[in-house]
Structure 1
């Protein structure tokens, strides 16, 4: 069941699509190409239960050694949350219910009432991928969640490190606007129809992430037909867009700690390979089992 939701929600909330094989870590050291000091690349999971959140010593040390934090979005921008709030409703007024039969409407209505205290009508004009984030948060099954991006941003502010973003909210929302509205709504329904299976697969994915099992994550997601349909849109093209910015940053004075969704790291169009193609040495820094 998570297969149906993965492209939409996992990409927007967890960013854990195919990460590639033969990678042994979530943390990578970047050197070479006349860099005066190393920088680091870290694969995140955007939301995880607080009880599952771990910050390994080597990751913490790499962050503290770095001069700047680079995320997908500039999380210390005071206007970021306001911008996000302004975009949660579909700009064309499309409704979730327009693609649902009576039974599906009842199913989604029940979810909203059980988790948000109000029914479908309140959320009917919301963008489907935003609702997907709400659904995945509920299916985590914990009251306290953590975000690696939030943690790193807080640490950067405490240590007075600059925070930069690789793209804007407008761009990220625009990515999901390219996926048909009715298809996104159907993924929501599919994830609710067998909630137990969806929760089990979500927990499996999180367990693989915690173990830094890149091969396991690859095998889990490689079978998804939906992934193949939207991989270039959600991952590959964004990775290519980021390379010019990162190349300039890495060649500038000082060092960077780059934290992006783990789904962006591996594969032929992943961050690791693209950095290597630009002449950098990218080496895994094993942290699991510390």
Structure 2
């Protein structure tokens, strides 16, 4: 059951800061050309760049026309600005993760799903008993990220981290479309049935996670948003409620922000998860509904 696993995992990676050990041997460099779009009027230019929140070493993506667009920009806008202290993020998450009705997480799951969940948690170094006082979304997010760390993906190599570091070094303003609390609440406020559905889908998808995430990265590196959308976003069509919360509603809000920002002169580099710029209901689609055209920037 793929329904939410890929898209939710993509969102979860932005919230849990997990880094795998640095590899002893430097890998061969892979040249990447991720997709980028532009919205422009007489005195305002806004670039839209789709990011990946975790990467392996050796991927050269901060280059070429994308790097030139970033250098021309006065301001960087991310989904969120992560706290410099990861303990702050953890504290914010835990204030929203704890169950308030006294029901153990394990007891919310059907017997067969419970056994698979327990095994998956233990296999990934996440003792399930430590999560029994939390709501299902928290365990689902942890399971969405822990396997990627074991596979060598690192948050400190993610696109947002590199862009923010470069912006701060260059003295650019750095802003965010959402707060950390808002992003966490997209999961924390899901109805319990949908939280359980998300957790079960995550567990069921673990055997394919390595190949599927590698496929997503391949499409990102090659600048293939249509293929990325097919792999990632279409899995949400079976659960339109989750699609509205995790993608469509947020894309619509961001399109409104871009429309308002077009009223101010300057050049802005907006970097959000690549899934938000791909497929039906993307930020570009939402802009088009507002009468604002975007165009793909050639490599």
TM-score by length of 1: 0.79
Counterpart position of 1:179? 190
Counterpart position of 1:165? 176
Superposition deviation, residue 236 in structure 1: 1.8
Query: What value does the CA root-mean-square deviation take over the aligned residues?
Result: 3.1
Deviation string, structure 1 residues 7-33 (Cα, Å, up to 9, x no partner): 432333379xxxxxxxx962112211x
State the structure with bigger RCO (CA 8 A, min sep 6), 1 or 2. 1
From 80, 91, 99, the equivalent of 1:85 is 91
From 58, 65, 81, the equivalent of 1:58 is 65
Call closer, same or farther: CA 1:194–1:73 in 2, change over 3 Å: closer
Q: Would you say 1:137 and 2:145 are equivalent positions?
A: yes
Counterpart position of 1:70? 77
Superposition deviation, residue 63 in structure 1: 0.9
Q: Would you say 1:257 and 2:266 are equivalent positions?
A: no
Q: Partners in 2 of 1:104 and 1:129 — Cα distance?
A: 15
Counterpart position of 1:115? 124
276-285 or 146-155: bigger deviation: 276-285
The 5-angstrom pairing of residues 192-271 of structure 1 reads 192-193=203-204, 195-220=206-231, 221-222=233-234, 224-267=236-279, 269-271=281-283
Counterpart position of 1:18? none
Counterpart position of 1:153? 164
CA contact (8 A) 1:69 1:163 kept: yes
Counterpart position of 1:45? 52
Call closer, same or farther: CA 1:128–1:67 in 2, change over 3 Å: farther
Q: Partners in 2 of 1:223 and 1:110 — Cα distance?
A: 25
Call closer, same or farther: CA 1:98–1:195 in 2, change over 3 Å: same
CA contact (8 A) 2:34 2:61 kept: no
Call closer, same or farther: CA 1:52–1:103 in 2, change over 3 Å: farther
Q: Partners in 2 of 1:272 and 1:225 — Cα distance?
A: 19
CA contact (8 A) 1:31 1:280 kept: no
CA contact (8 A) 2:228 2:278 kept: no
Call closer, same or farther: CA 1:251–1:143 in 2, change over 3 Å: same
Count of residues paired in the alignment: 275
Q: Partners in 1 of 2:64 and 2:116 — Cα distance?
A: 44
TM-score by length of 2: 0.77
